[in-house]
Amino acid sequence: MLEIIQTLGPITGNKIAEKLNLSRAALRSDLAILTMSQLVSAKPKVGYYFTGRDLQQLNTMSFDAILIADTLSAPIVVRENSTVYDAILTLFTEDVGTIFVVSEDNFLEGALSRKDLLKAAMGGKNNNDLPVNIIMTRMPKIILTTPEESVLSAAQKLLYHQVDALPVVKIIKEGETTKYQVVGRFTKTNITRLFVQLAEK
Ligand code: ADP
C-alpha cells in the first residue's frame, strides 16, 4: 500500500482499494497505521500522500523496541493467607483490576481478577473467613512476563490468553526449583498509555 501511495499519491482510499482488489473497508486499519506512524498523510478530497518520513525512524517508535522494564507499573499483591475480604478491599484502595498473590517470602503463587472476587462475593460464604488461595488461579497456570521482554510480545500474551494483566517477574533459580519474584505488573492500561504517548509524539 505504501508503494502505491509513494508512486501514485495523492490517491484516494477508493483508488488504493481498486488497485489492491480489496474493499475500502478492508484497508481501514492498515491506513490508520500508516497515518499514525506519519509515513502517510491525508488531505480531504485529495487523498493519501507519502510524507517522506524515513522508514528507519519508525523502528524507534515500534512496540517491539520498547521493553517491559520501560513501562511496568508497581505490583499490587496480597499474601496467600489473606482473606477474600482483604483482597476486595485492596482492589478498591489500590484501584487495580488484578491482584497477584504471593507467599510469605514474596514469591508468586497466584492471581485474582475482578470476576474471581465477584464470584466469591456472590458465593454466600463469609469473605472474612475465606482465604484467597481457595479461589485464585494458581501457579504454574499464571502467564508471566519479565522486564527484558518486549511490550509487543507481552501484549500478544494478554490477547492470546485473554487476561487483563501479567505479573512482571524476576526468575530465581534455586537448584532444581524456579521461583518468581514479583517486581511489577503489566496491564492493558500500560498498553493504552504507551499507545497514546507514541501517537502524541
Ligand atoms: P476478569 O476475570 O475480571 O474478566 P481476567 O480476564 O484478567 O479478568 O481474568 C480471567 C481469569 O484468568 C481469572 O480467573 C483470573 O484469575 C485468571 N488470570 C488473571 N491474570 C492471569 C494471568 N496473568 N495468568 C493466568 N491467569 C490469569
- For 137-154, write each residue's pLDDT tens digit: 999 999 999 999 999 999
Helix (H, G, I), strand (E, B) or coil at 138: strand
Q: Using the mean position of ligand 1's atoms as its centre, give its distance from the Cα of residue 163 in Å.
A: 5
Report the mean per-residue pLDDT for the chain. 91
| Higher per-residue confidence, 132 vs 55 | 132
Share above pLDDT 90 across residues of the chain, in percent, rounded to a whole number:
72
Q: State which ligand 1 atom lies nearest to the alpha carbon of 112.
A: 16
- Whether residue 30 contacts residue 17, with contact meaning beta carbons closer than 8 Å, is answered with no
DSSP 128: T
Q: For the chain, how big is the Rg over CA atoms in Å?
A: 23
Cell for 101?
498473590
- Whether residue 77 contacts residue 101, with contact meaning beta carbons closer than 8 Å, is answered with yes
pLDDT band at 52 (very low <50, low <70, confident <90, very high): confident
Q: Using the mean position of ligand 1's atoms as its centre, give its distance from the Cα of residue 137 in Å.
A: 7
pLDDT score of 61: 56
Average pLDDT over residues 2-27: 92
pLDDT score of 38: 79
Average pLDDT over residues 57-81: 83
pLDDT score of 141: 98
pLDDT score of 60: 52
Report residues whose beta carbon is within 6 angstroms of any ligand 1 atom: 98, 111-116, 137, 141-143, 162-166
Q: Which among 76, 98, 185, 190 is the best mutation to test ligand 1's pocket, defined by most ligand atoms within 8 Å of the CB? A: 98
pLDDT score of 62: 65
Nearest one of 34, 68, 72 to 53, comparing CA atoms: 34
Helix (H, G, I), strand (E, B) or coil at 168: strand
β-strands 40-43, 47-50: how paired?
Answer: antiparallel
Q: What angle do CA 81, 84, 85 make, to 5 degrees?
A: 115
Residue 58 has pLDDT above 70, yes or no: no
Q: What are phi and psi of 122, to 5 degrees?
A: -85, -10
| Higher per-residue confidence, 62 vs 145 | 145
